[in-house]
């Protein structure tokens, strides 16, 4: 097993405080009523076959093992076992992933039945729970916050049209919020999360990922004006290095920064919503005195609507919005003292390598994200923390590959510098 997902907290949120049996259970799949649904152990079940047919997925049945095997779109097999909560996802190259979400498959009147919880998490079906004994299933929509007992809004995203609708707590009618332009990146898992702000506007995230690597292939953010339906959108790509990636969203009281590939929105949570877009590539190029970089530029940190920390993993710029100018930071941060401390660590870690001047010079040339380098490469990476008392805190991470293993060791050289000394 490569990974083990034990979602006990999620299980606690997904069960219903109902009875073990309901007089009538109503389940609709893409608008069509389904027969054979039932409640067992506080889980809502329905026959598996209609779900697989709606998704266009083939399956096999092993009566001896009591196993249902589903051929997934990415070439893997999903193995589910009657009476067992644990299922297994296996890829052609032998990699596997065990999934435990609760609600073991059941055999009822000769048909294999699946809990709606597992239809959601294992097969990607959108499940809208109207009550403990009533639900709607969608093969082309995502559903979020669909738990009536938690008294939260329910959001439904149509993957074909991009229509985002909301059913507010205690109401039966769905309200169209906006028609969004969704990214077309290919992937086998899609996820959505949404929330209503105190000003009555909406914030939503949408991501596409690969089940095998659990890595985001695409990440999109939207801030939506609750009155007009106007949406402000930006994208975050998963090619970013996990350690130095910019925050998904930077909140500031009644405003927030939406951060994406070479663009940044400053959105004020008002009615109507006010948004200002910044072209990060242009801002960085002006500070560097050159042309715009080919790779994306991100905002790693924002403070009080004035300072922005921009970068593309190697060239970092502190930008003052009021003065409309930026200052290149990389060399200012990598002072002779910081470099000396880092080189001292490297000599302790691998003296046989870094006692050679050419190896030490090559190390500093690899400053940036590890995913742009050959596997098993030792490299430096700059990371930044929050603004505090007029100081910019940063760390130089020495990400060291441990020979004869698949592991990396991370050593930090931390420091700080006053903002007024930088710009």
pLDDT digits (tens, 9 = 90+) for 32-65: 999 999 999 889 999 999 999 999 999 999 999 9
* pLDDT of the chain, 423 residues: tens digit per residue: 333 333 332 333 333 333 344 458 999 999 999 999 999 988 999 999 999 999 999 999 999 999 999 999 989 999 999 999 999 999 998 889 898 877 899 999 999 999 999 999 999 999 999 888 999 999 999 999 866 555 689 999 999 999 999 998 777 788 999 999 998 776 778 999 999 988 999 999 998 888 777 676 788 889 999 999 999 987 766 544 333 344 457 777 788 888 877 888 889 999 899 999 999 888 888 888 877 777 778 888 777 677 888 887 788 888 988 888 888 888 888 889 999 999 999 999 899 999 999 999 999 999 887 777 888 899 998 887 766 677 888 888 899 988 888 788 889 888 888 877 777
Kindly report the pTM of this predicted structure: 0.76
308 has which bridge partners?
A: 302, 319
């Amino acid at each position: 097993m490569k990974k083990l997902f034990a979602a006990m907290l999620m299980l606690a949120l997904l069960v219903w405080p109902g009875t073990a049996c309901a007089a009538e259970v109503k389940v609709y799949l893409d608008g069509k009523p389904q027969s054979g649904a039932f409640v067992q152990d506080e889980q809502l079940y329905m026959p598996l076959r209609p779900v697989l047919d709606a998704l266009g997925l083939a399956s096999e049945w092993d009566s001896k093992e009591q196993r249902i095997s589903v051929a997934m779109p990415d070439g893997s097999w999903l193995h589910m076992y009657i009476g067992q909560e644990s299922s297994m996802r296996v890829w052609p190259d032998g990699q596997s992933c065990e999934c435990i979400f609760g609600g073991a498959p059941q055999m009822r009147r000769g048909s294999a039945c699946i809990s709606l919880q597992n239809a959601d998490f294992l097969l990607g079906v959108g499940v809208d729970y109207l009550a403990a004994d009533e639900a709607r299933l969608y093969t082309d929509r995502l559903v979020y916050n669909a738990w009536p007992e938690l008294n939260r809004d329910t959001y439904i995203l149509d993957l074909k049209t991009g229509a985002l609708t909301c059913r507010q707590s205690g109401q039966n009618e769905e309200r169209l919020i906006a028609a969004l332009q969704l990214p077309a990146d290919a992937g086998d898992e899609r996820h959505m999360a949404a929330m209503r702000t105190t000003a009555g506007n909406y914030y939503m995230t949408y991501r596409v990922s690969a089940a095998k690597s659990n890595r985001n292939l695409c990440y999109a953010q939207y801030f939506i004006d609750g009155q007009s339906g106007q949406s402000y959108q930006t994208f975050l790509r998963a090619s970013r290095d996990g350690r130095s990636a910019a925050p998904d969203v930077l909140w500031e009281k009644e405003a927030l920064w939406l951060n994406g590939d070479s663009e940044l929105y400053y959105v004020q949570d008002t009615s109507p919503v006010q948004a200002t877009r910044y072209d990060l590539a242009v801002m960085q190029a002006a500070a560097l005195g050159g042309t715009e970089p080919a790779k994306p530029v991100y905002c790693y940190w924002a403070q009080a609507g004035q300072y922005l920390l921009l970068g593309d993993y190697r060239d970092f710029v502190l930008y003052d919005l009021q003065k409309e100018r930026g200052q290149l930071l990389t060399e200012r941060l990598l002072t002779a003292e910081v470099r000396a401390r880092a080189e001292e660590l490297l000599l302790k870690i691998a003296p046989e390598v870094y006692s050679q001047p050419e190896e030490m010079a090559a190390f500093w040339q690899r400053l940036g994200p590890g995913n742009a380098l050959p596997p098993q490469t030792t490299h430096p990476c700059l990371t930044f923390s929050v603004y505090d008392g007029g100081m910019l805190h940063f760390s130089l991470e020495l990400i060291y590959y441990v020979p004869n293993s698949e592991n990396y060791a991370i050593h930090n050289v931390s420091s700080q510098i006053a903002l007024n000394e930088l710009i």
